[in-house]
Chain A
Amino acid sequence: MIRAVASLLLAMLALPALAQDSMPPAPYAYNQLDDPRLEAEASALMQTLRCLKCQSQSIADSDAPMAGDMRHQVRSRILAGESPDAIRRWLVARYGDYVSYEPEVSSTTWPLFAIPVLVILIVAGVLLRRLGKRRNDAGEAA
């Protein structure tokens, strides 16, 4: 039984093995920076960068080799003294806003910021209308 299972497994493994590389991950793909402060900076940044090969995951949450290589880029650049913002800009310059989960105000993303402001105004308006008027009524009644 076990032998049958093992041969079946080998047959199945042969296929996907071709489509995936066998290289060891980049040095900083799965290893942390020694300085905890720098590692915290890198990790916070990685949480907000999108893995380009995955469906919808940050590079900090993915086993895809390319996500590993991106983690290596982030950690080694942080180690070299670059700021997280500069690294984000570097990637956005290459892949567009898609690579960053943190939208910045730009010609394509301004509604993401304008609409919440509008929502705040509407909320304030609704509350004033609904509650403010009542206070006047109550005041008159009292």
Chain B
Amino acid sequence: MIAEIGLAALWLAAALAVLQMVSGAFALRANEGEVNPLAIYARPAAVVQAFLAVLAFAMLLWAFAITDLSLKLVATNSHSMKPLLYKLTGTWGNHEGSMLLWVGVLALSGGLLAAFEKRLPERTMGATLSVQGFVALGFYAFLLLSSNPFERLPVPAGEGSGLNPLLQDIGLAIHPPTLYAGYVGLSVAFSLAMGALLTREVNPAFARVMRPWVLGAWVLLTLGITAGSYWAYYELGWGGWWFWDPVENASLMPWLAATALMHSVSVLAARDALRTWTIMLGVLAFSMSMLGTFLVRSGVLTSVHAFAVDPERGAFILGLLGLYIGGAFAIFALRAGAVAEGKRFAVASREGALVFNNVMLSAILAIVLLGTLYPLLTEAFDVRVSVGPPYFNPASAIFAVPMLLVMAVGPLLRWKSDTPRRLQFELALIAALVIGVIGLVSVFGEFPLLPLLGLGLAAALAVAAFLPLRGRKLSRVPVATWGMVIAHFGVAVSLFGMACEGAFSQERLAAVAPGGTEQIGDFTVTLESVTPVAGPNWTAIEARLAISDKGGEPVILNPQARSFWSPPQSTSESALLTRWDGQLYAVIGNQAADGRWQIRVWWKPFVTFIWYGGLLIGLGGVLAIAGRVRVDVKRRQASAKGDQRRADLEALGQASPVPAE
């Protein structure tokens, strides 16, 4: 019964998406200021659709919770003996379930937009909801026609066949749903951009409506990537946190586009400039999300994270991609010329810096896109090449370094036009920090160029992030400004972590007999014993490592080599010793013929800062949303009060005063 309710809800939701699309389109046929009578169904359709899609997802969640083995999806991806938490997270640890989560979030955000957004002109709102319905419809079709999550087995399975053990981890509970929510949030930005483009209403009011969605999606992407990076770091067992793998890049590209979009939408909201550019980025950001979905699921590229690969589904997603993105770019090419360019500004201005960095972000995006897709291009000619960190790191640094420098200065500039002379002290300080730190570190040894640059830039950026607060009364600084300061500081923190990991990491690989000792950095690592242990659906050998810092009190770490039996697969469970200034990362390997055990230990100074930085960036985004929403609510209350007064005055029979705004 559960499955049937879920499936029915999905079909109904798809029907409502059609209604939303058609009804929304009628709004375009209304004259200025009027409402087409057929356009009134779009909003309720979006709201009810949200309810139905979420209901469908809840039904699947329930089926996984009770391990309903008559469902094909549950039987192939779950197991009755799995811990409940991983049964639940298993719901989206597979293709169908994750697509259902995707449409659930898509419908939910569409519903929220329809229910709460009253600032946009009705025509733009109608067009936006119509586009949103069109996008949702494609994904419903995808689910219902080619990836039905509620498919029944003719005969219920006796037992499920389990879940990839790498995915039985708390990281899976957080990372993919966060990322999907971010991807899907960008779909709202996309719909809004298309709506505004269709009605030619690209203006600050539209930007203010779009901004919270972009910010929200961007925060979720930031947190999703941060979580994913940490997950890969401790789960894959080799201490790598970013490998420029196609799937990693697939999540980075929407983030880059969203970062650029978030900044340009702010310029549009504040200064009414960069209109076409903002629309372009709105389309681009969602294109990148869909491109990522395509790359991950079609299997056209080889990846360590390859997931639910199937060329047939790939063809379906590619079709959707062609329809939405091709269509959007075509409308863009036809319509963007008709959108006026907006206000002008000087090169040395806040807008100038933002434009510069927008272009730099886009260039980095172009590099990542090129490096990711290039192997695909050569494979068409039967040549296989690999593009990896030695390409991506320097190629993106060409654009990242000037971007980070401008990022340090940009927030100090005034809108519209400014003179660099006013900022002599700040510029000198930033330059001194970059050069000073690089010089100082170089004294202590020879390090690769990029980490060295990273250290210098991180120091300068960390200080520069707080310079906008100089000379201001801290209690009067708007919350959104705090958000910017913290997010920029987060970038510095993260950069510092990356640079330290790149420059100062130490590695120790050794075969150790029980009782044997190895030295890494200031730490003494003693292998005390190796014992077998058992978990709910795995067995493992567990090492007991005593870690002592400069001869101090030892701390025990227990890395494991686990063997899961359904499906049979083995994983390395690394053990981490976290200090404020870094992490000790330990892994137990195989036993050699002479009885010694292979252990791998890394000391990674300040590596945790990479993810602390990511969290700070996310926090900055949350503060920015909170600040904007607060201002918005205040403005609404004020205008409601104004309306009230006007109504009162009218009731008194006086002529209504000219609106203040």
> Does A touch B (CB under 8 Å) in the complex?
yes
**Beta-carbon contact of A100 and B386 below 8 Å:** yes
Bound-complex Cα distance A126 to B568 (A): 55
**Which chain A residues border B346 with CB–CB below 8 Å?**
134-135, 138
The residue among B304, B399, B600 with the most chain A CB atoms within 10 A of its own CB is B304
How distant is the Cα of A103 from the Cα of B383 in the complex, in angstroms?
A: 13
- Interface residue tally on A, bucketed by range: 35 or more
Contact: B508 with A48, CB < 8 Å? no
Give the distance in Å from the alpha carbon of A48 to the alpha carbon of B392 in the complex: 12
B534 & A32 in contact (Cβ 8 Å cutoff): no
Residues of A within 8 A of B345 (CB): 134
Within 8 Å of chain B (Cβ to Cβ): is A130? yes
**Which parts of B378-418 form the interface with A (CB within 8 Å)?**
378, 381, 383-391, 395, 398-399, 417
Interface residues of A in 16-53 (CB under 8 A from B): 16, 24-25, 30-32, 43, 47-48, 50
* A32-B507, A108-B378 as given contacts; A55 in contact with B302, CB under 8 Å: yes
Given A30-B511, A127-B359: A112 and B589 interface contact (C-beta under 8 Å): no
**A109–B238 CB distance below 8 A:** no
- Report Cα–Cα, A16/B370, bound state, in Å: 38
Within 8 A of B (CB), among A85-130: 96-103, 108-109, 111-112, 115-116, 119-120, 123, 126-127, 130
Verify B302–A102 contact, CB threshold 8 A.
no
Q: Tell me which residues across on chain B come within 8 A of A116, comparing CB atoms.
A: 367, 370, 395, 398
Question: Is the CB of B120 closer than 8 A to any CB of chain A?
Answer: no
A56 lies within 8 A of B565 (CB): no
User: Is residue B563 within 8 Å, beta carbon to beta carbon, of the partner chain?
Assistant: yes
**A5 interface hit (Cβ, 8 Å):** yes
Partner of B510, one of A5, A25, A31: A31
A108 to B534, CA, bound (A): 51
Q: Contacts A5-B534, A112-B371, A120-B398 known; A56 to B417 CB distance under 8 Å? A: no
Q: Is the CB of A103 within 8 A of B391?
A: yes
Instruction: Please indicate the chain B residues that have their CB under 8 angstroms from the CB of A137 in the complex.
Output: 344
Do A55 and B391 touch across chains, with their CB atoms under 8 A apart? no
Is A112 in contact with B390, judged by CB distance below 8 angstroms? no
Which of A13, A108, A131 contacts B355, CB < 8 Å? A131
Q: Decide yes or no: A31 and B399 within 8 Å by CB, A13-B563, A98-B385 being known contacts.
A: no
Q: Could you tell me if A56 and B246 are in contact, using CB atoms closer than 8 angstroms?
A: yes
| Cβ-defined partner of A57 (8 Å) among B243, B370, B371, B598 | B243
Asked if A80 lies at the interface with its beta carbon under 8 angstroms from chain B, I say no
Contacts of A60 in B (CB 8 A): 238
Q: Which of these, B245, B352, B384, B568, contacts A56 with CB under 8 Å?
A: B245
A127 touching B389, Cβ below 8 Å: no
Interface string of B236-271 (1 = CB under 8 A from A): 111010010110000000000000000000000000
Let me know if B304 and A55 touch, CB within 8 A. yes
A24 cross-chain contacts in B, Cβ below 8 A: 592-593
The distance from the CB of B244 to the nearest CB of chain A, in whole angstroms, is 8
A94 to chain B, nearest CB (A): 13
A98 touches B534 (CB 8 A): no
In whole angstroms, how far apart are the Cα atoms of A43 and B539 in the complex? 32
B502 to chain A, nearest CB (A): 11
In the complex, the 9 A-B pairs of residues with the closest C-beta atoms, listed nearest first: A101-B388, A102-B390, A61-B238, A131-B347, A98-B384, A12-B568, A138-B346, A97-B385, A56-B304
Cβ contacts A to B, 13 pairs, < 8 Å: A6-B539, A25-B598, A30-B589, A31-B511, A32-B509, A47-B389, A56-B302, A97-B383, A101-B390, A103-B386, A108-B385, A112-B387, A134-B345
Known: A119-B367, A123-B363. 13 other contacts (CB 8 A): A25-B598, A30-B511, A48-B390, A55-B304, A56-B302, A62-B238, A97-B383, A99-B386, A102-B390, A108-B378, A116-B398, A135-B347, A138-B346
